[in-house]
């Protein structure tokens, strides 16, 4: 279905839409070396993690680069929810190698870590100093992103999320210069991901779709991408979790993740992500799992101001639109919670390590998160605290 011209499409204002160069399709991992060469990189630093090093993908990229006469080095010190210390360690390897560009091969954590390395390689200082919007003012070294999961959207986004282990929260760094130069998206790479990782990434992508569609910074382009991506996740995530080797489901989920990423990096996000970031830092829990718990109550919270938008999304995924708008918004929230349950996500925050005594601190951090600025309903402390209580 087409995207109806509803609230907030931005037709009366100037809209900038940013994407990297995108190379998409099965087998495109072979294009990484061409992307690196085209950017003039001679000594790339490859950022990845220990698990990816056990797959064929990292070795394939390193081999291609060496055959082209380039001099790659690898940094594998990235963990889920990348820490500030890991980003700084990567910067040290970048400097020691005299690198002139980066290649990130991995999921959202790896790509975010590579962005952090790029920030420090040209701007110096401590990565946590760049929290906020457009704090990294110097040009960054070129970055090629090669996602191995379908969900984070970091390969096409202007976001970099880093875990501040001292304050036990996540820091959100935003800037147009954080959008990678090239995204090489090969759906084949998803086949080596574990089912739980596929589920977490897919629920993250679904949250991107919903939050981009109701964001205060949305536009016609982001709306169209968000709806198409939501349908893609809705019809393919469960299939891919059940069979990661399914090539059709893998390709459709990769395409859905790409569309969702382009939508949210231009429309920004909302309360679900603002609330998810402090939980992820506090409990070191998977980002997609946290989103899958928070999104349904956030939909209900936002439905007081944009229930008609949720009706549109419900219709797009084939849910009944009978009843009032608020009824349909609740129906969408329930259906999302049911999908999350079917793919193995938790139904509450407490199994992830959140206790009732934590909620006031989490609320304070969520209210300070940049993603809250574009949430359609203004954020009030007691109301956000109540959403956390519903999710507990």
Q: Where are the domains of the chain?
A: 28-185, 195-391
Mean pLDDT value across residues 200-221: 97
Please give the pLDDT value at position 2: 38
Instruction: Kindly write down the DSSP assignment for every residue of 35-57, as one continuous string.
Output: HHHHTT-SSEEEE-BTTGGGSHH
Domain spanning 195-391: CATH 1.20.1090.10? yes
Q: Does 76 or 5 have the greater pLDDT score?
A: 76
Q: What is the pLDDT of residues 309-361, one digit of tens each?
A: 999 999 999 999 999 999 999 999 999 999 999 999 999 999 999 999 999 99
* The CA-based dihedral angle spanning residues 335, 341, 343, 344, taken in that order and rounded to the nearest 10 degrees: 160
- Asked if residue 333 lies in contact with residue 296, where contact means CB atoms within 8 angstroms, the answer is yes
Mean pLDDT of 259-265: 97
Closest to 112 in 3D by CA, of 287, 240, 250: 287
What's the chain's average pLDDT? 94
Q: What are 122-135's pLDDT values in tens digits?
A: 998 999 999 999 99
User: What is the predicted pLDDT for the residue at 169?
Assistant: 86
Using CA atoms, how far residue 92 sits from 62, 85, 86, in Å, is 20, 11, 10
User: How far is CA 251 from each of CA 57, 59, 248, 353, 372, rounded to the nearest angstrom?
Assistant: 17, 22, 5, 34, 32
Q: How confident is the model at residue 3 (pLDDT cuts 50, 70, 90)?
A: very low
Q: Is 38 exposed, middle or buried (0-12, 13-18, 19+ CB in 10 A)?
A: middle
Task: Note whether 160 and 178 are within 8 A (CB).
Answer: yes
pTM equals 0.94
Assigned token pair, 86:
């890991």
Q: What angle do CA 249, 264, 141 make, to 5 degrees?
A: 95
State the pLDDT at residue 191. Answer: 87
- Sequence-separated (6 or more) residues with CB below 8 Å from residue 171: 84, 127, 128, 131, 161, 162, 163, 164
DSSP 192: G
Report d(CA 92, CA 113) in Å as an integer. Answer: 13
Identify the pLDDT of residue 124: 83
**Predicted confidence (pLDDT) per residue in 281-304, tens digit:** 999 999 999 999 999 999 999 999
Q: Which two tokens stand for residue 140?
A: 């960054």
Over residues 26-43, the pLDDT tens digits come to 999 999 999 999 999 999
Q: Is the pLDDT of residue 181 over 80?
A: yes
28-185 under CATH 3.40.1280.10, yes or no? no
């Amino acid at each position: 279905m087409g995207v109806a011209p509803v609230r907030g499409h931005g037709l009366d204002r100037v809209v900038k839409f940013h994407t990297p160069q995108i190379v998409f399709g099965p087998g495109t991992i072979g294009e990484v070396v061409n992307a690196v060469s085209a950017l003039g990189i001679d000594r790339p630093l490859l950022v990845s993690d220990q698990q990816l090093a056990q797959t064929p993908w990292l070795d394939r990229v390193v081999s291609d680069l060496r055959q082209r006469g380039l001099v790659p080095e690898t940094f594998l010190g990235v963990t889920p929810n990348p820490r500030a210390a890991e980003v700084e360690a990567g910067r040290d390897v970048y400097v020691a190698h005299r690198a002139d560009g980066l290649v990130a091969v991995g999921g959202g954590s790896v790509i975010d870590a590579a962005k952090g390395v790029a920030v420090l390689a040209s701007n110096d200082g401590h990565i946590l100093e760049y929290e906020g919007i457009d704090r990294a003012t110097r040009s960054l070294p070129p970055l090629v992103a090669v996602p191995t999961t379908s969900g984070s959207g970091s390969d096409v986004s202007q976001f970099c999320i880093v875990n501040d282990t001292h304050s036990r929260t996540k820091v959100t760094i935003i800037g147009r210069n954080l959008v990678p130069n090239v995204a090489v998206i090969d759906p084949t790479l998803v086949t080596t991901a574990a089912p739980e990782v596929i589920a977490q990434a897919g629920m993250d992508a679904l949250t991107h779709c919903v939050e981009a569609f109701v964001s205060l910074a949305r536009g016609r382009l982001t709306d169209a991408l968000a709806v198409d991506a939501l349908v893609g996740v809705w019809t393919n995530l469960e299939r891919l979790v059940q069979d990661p080797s399914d090539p059709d489901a893998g390709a459709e989920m990769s395409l859905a993740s790409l569309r969702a990423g382009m939508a949210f990096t231009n429309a920004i996000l909302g309360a679900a992500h603002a609330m998810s970031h402090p939980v992820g830092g506090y409990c070191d829990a998977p980002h997609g799992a946290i989103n899958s718990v928070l999104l349904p109550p956030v939909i209900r919270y936002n439905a007081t101001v944009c229930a008609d938008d949720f009706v549109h999304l419900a219709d797009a995924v084939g849910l009944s639109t009978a009843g009032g708008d608020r009824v349909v918004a609740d129906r969408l929230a329930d259906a999302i919670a049911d999908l999350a349950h079917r793919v193995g996500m938790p139904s509450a925050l407490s199994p992830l390590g959140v206790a009732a005594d934590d909620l006031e601190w989490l609320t304070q951090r969520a209210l300070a998160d940049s993603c809250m600025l574009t949430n359609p309903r203004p954020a009030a402390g007691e109301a956000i605290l109540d959403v956390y209580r519903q999710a507990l």
